[in-house]
Amino acid sequence: MRAKVVLSASVLALAVLVPAVYFHYRTASAPAAVEAVASDDSNASPTALPPILKRASNGAQVQGQGVAVQDPADANLSHDEYVTKRKADLYDMGMSENPASLKIILSEIHNPDPEIRQAALTATMDLGSPEAIPALQNEMAWAEDLQEKMDLKNAIDFLQLPKFGASDETATTRR
């Protein structure tokens, strides 16, 4: 009797653990596979992709120590120097009040380096453009870290607030 209980409990535990381990490793590698498929189709426009796939197609190329290097002049910088330079660039773009900077800032929301992602989030809030909300919501769906999800949610809430000095009509139309 006791052997039957132990055996059935062991089989049940294996039945639960094997799929859990399989799906854990399968989902961890899924975005890379989606990125490879998206990059093979050179005629596909990133704007035609659904929001869930935009991150995979617009993700930064990772080189070296997990640094996303876009500028060839930055290739000879160490990781710490690159992060410091990129954060300064993002903060400058956030303070510039240039709407064209929003695209660049939002592209760094997907950066593999958490310091650069945080700087991009701060720059997005500094810029104050509600046009960033859909991109932040998309990133919140992809974020695995609870603190990062909370930071993204706070940024979305901040961007949804009416601007200081805006009339009541403007505040109600922004919602």
DSSP per residue over 14-53, as a string?
A: HHHHHHHHHHHHHHHHHHHHHHHHHHH-TT--GGGS-HHH
- Specify the pLDDT at position 119: 93
pLDDT single digits (tens) 88-138: 999 999 898 787 889 999 999 988 899 999 999 999 999 888 999 999 999
Which of left, alpha, beta for 145 (phi over 0: left; psi -120 to 50: alpha)?
A: beta
pLDDT single digits (tens) 40-69: 444 444 445 445 444 544 444 333 333 344
Domain boundaries, the chain: 1-45, 59-173
Residue 159: how many CB atoms within 10 A of its CB? 18
Q: Which CATH class is domain 59-173?
A: mainly alpha
Mean pLDDT of 76-92: 89
Tokens of 169: 């009509």
Model-wide pTM > 0.75: no
Cβ burial, residue 138 (10 Å; 0-12/13-18/19+): buried
- Neighbouring-strand partners of residue 63: 67
Which of left, alpha, beta for 66 (phi over 0: left; psi -120 to 50: alpha)?
A: left
Placement of tokens 């120097």 in the chain: 81
Spatial distance between the Cα atoms of 38 and 30, rounded to a whole number of angstroms: 12
